[in-house]
């Protein structure tokens, strides 16, 4: 186990009707807020009305900024920063999924910064003071609700980049599993893949002596393997929805990566696909992860054997452990397929011609990943294997 | 899964040499501190000198209060409160195990309270403003390093009582597994039992649909089952010591109990034994838990079958599931025995004559536990089964 630091002060308010507590929480931090959300879905479900009523009943004034898209954009963030400055906003409430939260984080970091907010994303500046944010989560997926990271797409050149700072971690996250009943199955499944991928990025490590986090990772994956198919079958199953929602937070609140080198190579590759083709994040991960696993497993057979046996219940093939590994990878891929997710680039109409460009952009700041360091050639090969 | 709230903002600084960072952390909160510790062990190991040097090098002044005993006492807490008031202390640094941290928490809560600090423990007052505390942990056991609870013994009547408040949660916890190398095996084992018991108190629940926390509980227990024997065999095994230390925090930082009714009956019984006989907390738990399990398992056979199979790898006896349960309980007891811990009251020279009094005191504020509510008669029976 390696030395580490861990802290995560986001307050979780979990369960039925918890969105009704939003004004009580908001009022601890601000009196004039930016209400940030995506499109019409929170209006259709009635969540928007509940939030507005709660704010009005508690004399919290608000300015709205909607229109956050999946793979949130820099231009809207800049608009949000302008509004916050003009209106003297002191708190941002993000109502939605990871894209809305990430957009809110970027706005929060940019309001008091005099330069271009993109500076934080390409490493030219570090976040200073940020205005506080809170969230009502509607899509369990990105883990952004308690994370200190935001991922943004710059339309000029279509770069998708992330940045992290503790000052942009949400103060509270309201998680009501009932709010996820209305998600289309594709979005539930994409979120599920994202959650599992956050565990994969930590689980596949060469750091030794990481028993406790291995077990926590395996447990989180097993919880997803059981509950994702249930939620897809019975969309209003509260038990399954709550397991997925809480697993989504646990998968990415930092705990599962403590004491170990994390990987994140697959996420970097997946981000390039999303940036160029605007494909749902989870769908790029269900495509890339099986290919990545097949490309790298020989570097550390033991770890992949453990994965196959402990996570998927594969029986150990003592004569040929590699077969155990391949069975584990195959079950991963099959699980994604059964959940309705693509597992090859050809399914999502990506042209082989773009492989070079995606690989090039992916390693722009150097090789990606840690389980195996991936250079441009490696990324090309993984993308080819993913067809 | 039930509705819940979860927050834990304690910063963890984990790994080799992390105690050298103490002054940097302390200086974020205070400039004149109370250095609180137990006896001579931190002097013998050299930790005391390192802390003093770090404080001196960073111009942090300090007043010392040592002498914390296992099952920490109210009288020393009162002494600490007096010192803090007289010396204008603005931060308490607890260097030691759970007893030292609990003592520090009680002092922190009492300094700005005009009444008797015991009021917090018998429910006559709620904690208000508390001065901040931080800790360098030397014994992984109580989980107090990130918890919001303190347990104190009132020498007048020998009552052992707990109280919880978020204002007494440590700001930071420095965890260096090397600092636990010098623990006598008995203390390592008692700490291990305490850690496992914190998981038991959450794992044994009748709340349904708690997959994710079940898995996290099981994983934490499996980590302890693997690593405790290694640490007892090779006291300087860094890997095993670090697994135990991190598991100890995870077991009791609140995460494993999210969304479920917790039990805590066994702890209540164990506290009465410690209060009357001043026996190490972990030793009372290794005695009480197997007895408690045998007393209550029939209320929810399924849960105990799951425990036996998933935690201990017992094979399911499909013809007679109860046999599976009993095997799981037996393995628990055997594990404690092999670790050198007592598993019966007769081993620790407790008289049967005191059963009535302990049971009486235990249920003074009503029945204890939730898996099964335990009344005086139940406590008597469990104590009898523990002989």
pLDDT digits (tens, 9 = 90+) for B125-152: 999 999 999 999 999 999 999 999 999 9
- Look at residue A359 in the predicted model and tell me its pLDDT: 97
Indicate yes or no: CB of A211 within 8 angstroms of CB of B227.
yes
In terms of C-beta density within 10 A (0-12 exposed, 13-18 middle, 19 or more buried), how is residue A377 classed? exposed
Indicate yes or no: CB of A216 within 8 angstroms of CB of B211.
no
Question: Confidence class of residue B158 from pLDDT cuts 50, 70 and 90?
Answer: confident
CB B107 within 8 A of CB B81: yes
For the domain made up of B183-385, the CATH class stated in words is: mainly alpha
Q: Over the stretch B295-325, which tens digit does the pLDDT of each residue have?
A: 999 999 999 999 999 999 999 999 999 999 9
Q: Give yes or no for residue B40 having a pLDDT over 90.
A: no
- Higher-pLDDT residue of A304, B274: A304
Query: Percent of chain A beyond pLDDT 70?
Result: 100
For residue B175, give the 3-state DSSP assignment: strand
Could you give the ipTM of this predicted complex?
Answer: 0.96
Q: Give yes or no for residue A71 having a pLDDT over 90.
A: no
B8 and A CB contact within 8 Å? yes
* DSSP secondary structure of A272-314: HHHHHH---HHHHHHHHHHHHHHHHGGGGHHHHHHIIIIIH-P
Indicate yes or no: CB of B243 within 8 angstroms of CB of A1.
yes
**Cα–Cα distance measured from residue B71 to residue B73, given in angstroms and rounded to the nearest whole number:** 7
Residue with tokens 């991960």: A285
Q: Cα–Cα distances in Å, from A386 out to A76, A301, A351?
A: 33, 21, 12
Indicate yes or no: CB of B209 within 8 angstroms of CB of A10.
no
Q: Give yes or no for residue B159 having a pLDDT over 90.
A: no
Question: Confidence class of residue B102 from pLDDT cuts 50, 70 and 90?
Answer: very high
**Cα–Cα distance measured from residue B274 to residue A139, given in angstroms and rounded to the nearest whole number:** 48
What's the maximum distance between 2 C-alpha atoms anywhere in chain B?
Answer: 70
Within 8 A by CB and 6+ apart from B15, the residues are A1, A2, A3, A4, A259, B175, B176, B177, B242
From A358, A361, A340, A379, select the one nearest A187 (Cα to Cα).
A340
**Cα–Cα distance measured from residue A361 to residue A4, given in angstroms and rounded to the nearest whole number:** 31
- The yes-or-no answer to whether B11-179 and B183-385 have a common fold is no
Q: Which fold has domain A11-179?
A: Rossmann fold (3.40.50)
Indicate yes or no: CB of B250 within 8 angstroms of CB of A216.
yes
C-alpha of B147 from chain center: 9
> How many A-B residue pairs are in contact by the CB < 8 A criterion?
125
Indicate yes or no: CB of B247 within 8 angstroms of CB of A7.
no
Q: Give yes or no for residue B71 having a pLDDT over 90.
A: no
Q: Please give, rounded to a whole number of angstroms, the shortest distance from the CA of A245 to a CA of chain B.
A: 10
Give me the mean pLDDT over the B154-164 stretch. Answer: 89
Domain ranges of chain A: 11-179, 184-385
Q: Give yes or no for residue B160 having a pLDDT over 90.
A: no
Indicate yes or no: CB of A7 within 8 angstroms of CB of B6.
no
Q: Give yes or no for residue A313 having a pLDDT over 90.
A: yes
Question: Confidence class of residue B49 from pLDDT cuts 50, 70 and 90?
Answer: very high
Strand partners, A344: none
From A194, A372, A360, A221, select the one nearest A279 (Cα to Cα).
A194
In terms of C-beta density within 10 A (0-12 exposed, 13-18 middle, 19 or more buried), how is residue A157 classed? exposed
From B231, B266, B267, select the one nearest B247 (Cα to Cα).
B231
Q: Please give, rounded to a whole number of angstroms, the shortest distance from the CA of A235 to a CA of chain B.
A: 16
CATH of A184-385 among 3.90.1150.10, 1.20.1090.10, 1.10.1130.10, 3.40.50.620? 1.20.1090.10
In terms of C-beta density within 10 A (0-12 exposed, 13-18 middle, 19 or more buried), how is residue B49 classed? exposed
Question: Confidence class of residue A8 from pLDDT cuts 50, 70 and 90?
Answer: very high
- Look at residue B276 in the predicted model and tell me its pLDDT: 87
Q: Kindly identify which residue of chain A lies nearest to residue B16, measuring between CA atoms.
A: A3
Question: Confidence class of residue B169 from pLDDT cuts 50, 70 and 90?
Answer: very high
**Cα–Cα distance measured from residue B329 to residue B304, given in angstroms and rounded to the nearest whole number:** 9
DSSP letter at A316 equals P
Q: Give yes or no for residue A42 having a pLDDT over 90.
A: yes
Q: Which of A208, A211, A238, A245 to probe the B interface (max B CBs under 10 A)?
A: A211
Q: For residue B247, what are its two tokens?
A: 């598991």
- Look at residue B275 in the predicted model and tell me its pLDDT: 83
Question: Confidence class of residue A38 from pLDDT cuts 50, 70 and 90?
Answer: very high
Residues of B (154-213) whose Cβ lies below 8 Å from A: 208-209, 211-212
């Amino acid at each position: 186990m390696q030395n580490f630091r861990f802290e995560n002060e986001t307050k979780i308010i979990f369960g039925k009707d918890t969105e009704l507590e939003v004004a009580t929480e908001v009022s601890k931090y601000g009196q004039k807020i930016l209400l940030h959300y995506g499109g019409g879905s929170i209006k259709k479900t009635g969540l928007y009305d509940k939030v507005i009523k709660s704010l009005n009943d508690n004399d919290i004034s608000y300015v709205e900024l909607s229109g956050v898209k999946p793979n949130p954009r820099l231009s809207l963030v800049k608009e949000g920063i302008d509004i916050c400055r003009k209106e003297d906003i002191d708190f941002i409430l993000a109502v939605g999924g990871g894209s809305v939260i990430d957009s809110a984080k970027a706005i929060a970091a940019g309001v008091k910064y005099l330069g271009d907010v993109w500076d934080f994303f390409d490493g030219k500046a570090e976040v200073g003071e940020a205005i506080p944010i809170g969230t009502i989560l509607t899509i369990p997926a990105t883990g952004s609700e308690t994370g200190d990271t935001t991922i943004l797409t710059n339309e000029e050149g279509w770069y998708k980049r992330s940045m992290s700072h503790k000052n942009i971690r949400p103060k509270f996250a309201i998680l009501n599993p009932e709010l996820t009943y209305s998600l289309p199955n594709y979005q539930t499944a994409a979120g599920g893949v994202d959650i599992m991928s956050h565990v994969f990025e930590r689980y596949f490590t060469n750091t030794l002596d990481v028993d406790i986090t291995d077990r926590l990772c395996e447990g989180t994956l097993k919880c997803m393997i059981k509950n994702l198919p249930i939620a897809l079958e019975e969309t209003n199953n509260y038990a399954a929805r709550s397991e997925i929602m809480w697993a989504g937070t646990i998968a990415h609140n930092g705990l599962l990566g403590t004491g170990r080198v994390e990987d994140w190579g697959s996420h970097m590759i997946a981000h390039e696909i999303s940036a160029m083709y605007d494909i749902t994040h989870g769908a790029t991960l269900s495509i890339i992860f099986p290919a990545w696993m097949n490309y790298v497993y020989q570097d550390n057979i033991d770890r992949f054997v453990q994965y196959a046996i402990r996570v998927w219940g594969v029986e150990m093939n003592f004569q040929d452990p590699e077969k155990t590994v391949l069975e584990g990878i195959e079950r991963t891929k099959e699980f994604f397929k059964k959940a309705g997710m693509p597992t090859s680039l050809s399914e999502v109409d990506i042209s082989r011609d773009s492989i070079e460009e995606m690989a090039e952009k992916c390693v722009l700041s150097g090789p990606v990943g840690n389980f195996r360091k991936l250079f441009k050639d490696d990324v090309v090969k993984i993308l080819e294997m993913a067809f």
